[in-house]
Structure 1
């Protein structure tokens, strides 16, 4: 009988108390446990969506939803990476229909192209190079071991008349720049042919290895290098049409960035 009365009075005392402390005389919540908890039964929380108690599923964790809200069950997903293997961490593609044009007066004076177009040179050292506006973007690198691939495609056009008896052509060049430093450059030549306003497709692939961790900028810049037997008034278009035999859809530029890394940062994902 004494035990029954003790349990009864203890239960009444708990119901009248606003806060209960276990191993602490000053509880700071309705139930404040100062020590380890050995849970042998169910752990349930209120599901705000349907106002029902939820036990969660296997391998789920309780995640806070902020002050005043009940926690919720979430699944924890950690990517499975193998040591020293590269994985695709970032990929994106961009397009541009603005492009850029060049007249004969915008050809740079270059004594030696091989000496001028050196890797890691700053874009400020490249005379008469113009950036293609929509292809300048930013991306992030999270590992000290990385390979970043760039794929650039555009259309080159000149408003040539039909070809004459001599070689009529224009040399041009396009470079891929990371943080305004040259990582890849390709030269090409557009020739006059038997039809007016010829054009060609220019493709280019570049690579940058082990960029520093953090944010980087990337862009594409091109130049009209030299003309051969080209009459006055001929315009070179890169990524834009200079005659109505093609339009901006056909002449547009595209640029793709893929970052492969040996992961060093593991960000768990909950859903």
Structure 2
């Protein structure tokens, strides 16, 4: 009788507390097991739409959907990688229409380009360079063996009059930076033509190998370097129109980033 009464009191306590602890006197959930769990039959998930029980399919995993939501069955997919072979892990494209404009007073103060334009130099050393907004994505590298490719394209225009003798032109440069360190740079000269407001298409492709694993911020920055025989009112525009003979749709900038890796950590992908 005492055993029966104790059992009834214990069961009543479990119902009132709505928590069961196994090998723990202070359960933190409705069922709190402090030890190994061995399932001999099946695990099911309640489908709240029709109140049916679903066991999942072969090779599926039970995945949390966050606090307050029931778990769900997901299919695990692990890509088949070959040893020592690069695979495209990340690719995306970005664009910007606001661009950059440089007046004659915003010309860079850089005197030694060969020293400043060295791979790995910090952007703080690049006097007069401005970053193009919207072209600063964050990428994540998982492998110590990787190659990251960049393709930058824009239009460069200046409010030149028709060319004279001697030639009217402007030197400019655009650099691609990873974590504000230079990885690629192209320097060009925009020369006036027989028509006013000359413009050219600027294409730039770069690559950097074996970035450290983790997150990295990409950015593109450009500068007006030196003017030749120009008047003070000549404006240089990169990624935006300086004159109305073209528009911001034509001059917009784009950046494409591709990250290839030799996989070392197999990250699961669920559908």
TM-score of the superposed pair, with normalisation by structure 2: 0.80
Q: Secondary structure at the match of 1:134?
A: coil
Distance 1:157 1:129 in 2: 17
**Could you tell me how far apart the structure 1 residues matched to 2:72 and 2:268 are?**
17
Structure with max Cα Rg: 1
Alignment partners' CA distance in 2, 1:63 and 1:261 = 28
| Residue 235 (structure 2) aligns with | 235
Deviation, 1:172, is 0.7
Q: Residues 140 and 216 of structure 1 are in contact (CA less than 8 Å); yes or no, is this contact kept in structure 2?
A: yes
1:34 to partner: Cα distance = 7.8
Q: Is 2:219 the counterpart of 1:219?
A: yes
Report SS of the residue matched to 2:188: strand
Q: Which string of whole-angstrom CA distances, capped at 9 and with x for unpartnered residues, describes residues 203-234 of structure 1?
A: 00111111111111111111111111222311
Which residue does 2:50 correspond to in 1?
50
**What's 2:173 paired with?**
173
Could you say which residue in structure 2 is the equivalent of 1:5? none
- Aligned residues of 2:110 and 2:126 also touching (Cα < 8 A): no
Counterparts of 1:137 and 1:43 in 2: how far apart (Å)?
Answer: 42
Cα distance in structure 2, aligned partners of 1:38 and 1:95: 55
Aligned counterparts of 1:68 and 1:97: Cα–Cα separation in 2:
42
- Aligned counterparts of 1:83 and 1:241: Cα–Cα separation in 2: 48
Structure 1: which 5+ residue stretches go unaligned?
A: 1-16
Distance 1:254 1:43, change over 3 A: closer
* TM-score, with length taken from structure 1: 0.80
TM-superposition CA deviations, 1:250-271 (whole Å, max 9, x none): 1111111111111222222333
8 Å Cα contact 2:121/2:181 also seen in 1: yes
2:118 is equivalent to residue 118 of structure 1: yes
Q: Give the superposition deviation at 1:124.
A: 0.9
CA RMSD of aligned residues (A): 3.0
Judged with a 3 Å threshold, the aligned counterparts in structure 2 of structure 1 residues 215 and 69 are, in CA distance, closer, same or farther, namely closer
Judging changes above 3 Å, is the alpha-carbon distance between structure 1 residues 80 and 242 closer, same or farther for their aligned structure 2 residues? same
**Cross-structure match for 1:7:** none
Q: Alignment partner of 1:124: what SS?
A: helix
Mean CA deviation greater in 47-56 or 165-174? 47-56
Within 5 A, what are the aligned runs for 1:136-151? Answer: 136-151=136-151
Offset of residue 115 of structure 1:
2.1
Counterpart of 2:134 in 1: which secondary structure?
helix
For residues 102 and 38 of structure 1, do their structure 2 counterparts lie closer, same or farther at Cα, with a shift above 3 Å needed?
Answer: closer
1:70 Cα deviation (Å)?
6.6
Q: How does 1:55-134 map to 2 (within 5 A)?
A: 55-63=55-63, 72-134=72-134
CA contact (8 A) 1:162 1:195 kept: yes
CA distance in 1, matches of 2:67, 2:128: 58
